Structure 1
Amino acid sequence: MGFYQLIKEQKVNASIDEVWDFISSPGNLKEITPDYMGFDIISNNLSEKMYPGMIISYKVSPVFGIKTLWVTEITHVKEKEYFVDEQRVGPYAIWHHQHHISAIPNGVLMRDIVSYKPPFGFLGAMANGILIKSKLQEIFDYRTMAVDKKFGKYSS
């Protein structure tokens, strides 16, 4: 049942090089994730830059403080344009997250397309309406704030 997409856009006050350097470094994920999620990368010997086939393991507490293992694979990378991460182990039946960047006047447009399917069929679809959709929105709102704080608010 229920397959969903969340599409978010943010204009960033930085160059393509600056934004790419930041978003393509797995070590920066914690900086753009709300503290209450208890986000910790647990992968050993993690490269500073992502590459196709890279596996990243995290512990995260998305709801009720319950620690969950989440493993993603970076499946596609086109330098300074986009990358894709897909869940291999974690809370979703399907998780596919596209991260796109493109130059705009005075900055960069970041566009995220998250395609996901909660687990548990009908119950997961209900949970999406009650909790998951709003939680994802909250996480991306936090990320918008964190990116603005890092690079400054965009002005055209």
Structure 2
Amino acid sequence: MEHIVQEQFLPISRAEAWEFFSHPLNLDKITPDELGFSTASCPDGAIYPGAIIIHRLQLAPFLAIPWVTEIKAVDEGFSFVDEQRFGPYRFWHHRHSFEETEGGVLIRDEVHWKAPFEPFSAPVKALFVKPRTLAIFEHRKQVLTDYFSE
């Protein structure tokens, strides 16, 4: 099982951060273009426990797959958890949390994940899946910094 923890300070209120992150369509804005990521189906408005969100990923030319996630828990304004039901990972559990701090908000992402076909996929995971997963979070961090500093 892999574990990622990323924290980022943004100079906005916790309420503003929640408003942005609790709307699934905003994920399209912060995901690298080369993934061909788009949200195909999501609830109108903010997330809620039990909400099913369907994204599409373009893994290669002519190879698009759905990524279906379920919102498992919501602590309104403070945190939410999404889990993969079907998609590119064998397991995906992602907790988003928002902590008000002096001058802004600390956003924390904690992800537990497992690549498909493990242990047979270990070389692919090491060379491709893990670096790409980490790069997605780094890209997201830069986009959020730019977006909220305008």
Q: TM-score range by the shorter chain?
A: over 0.9
- Whether contact under 8 Å (1:32, 1:142) holds in the other structure is yes
C-alpha deviation, 1:145, in angstroms? 1.1
- Give the 5 Å matches for 1:62-77: 63-65=59-61, 66-77=63-74
Q: Which residue of 2 aligns with 1:128?
A: 125
Root-mean-square deviation over aligned CA pairs: 1.4
Equivalent residue for 1:29, pick from 27, 30, 41: 27
5+ residue gaps in structure 2?
none
Please give the secondary structure, in 2, of the residue aligned with 1:69.
strand
- CA offsets 1:42-86 (integer angstroms, 9 cap, x no match): 116x3210000000001112x434311110000000011110000
Q: Which residue of 2 aligns with 1:113?
A: 110
Which AA in structure 2 matches 1:55?
I
C-alpha deviation, 1:103, in angstroms? 0.8
Percent of aligned positions that are identical: 38
Q: Would you say 1:80 and 2:77 are equivalent positions?
A: yes
Which AA in structure 2 matches 1:87?
Q
5+ residue gaps in structure 1?
none
TM-score, normalized by length of structure 1?
0.90
TM-score, normalized by length of structure 2?
0.93
User: How many residue pairs get matched?
Assistant: 149
More strand per residue: 2
Which portions of structure 1, spanning 4 or more consecutive aligned residues, are displaced by more than 4 angstroms? none
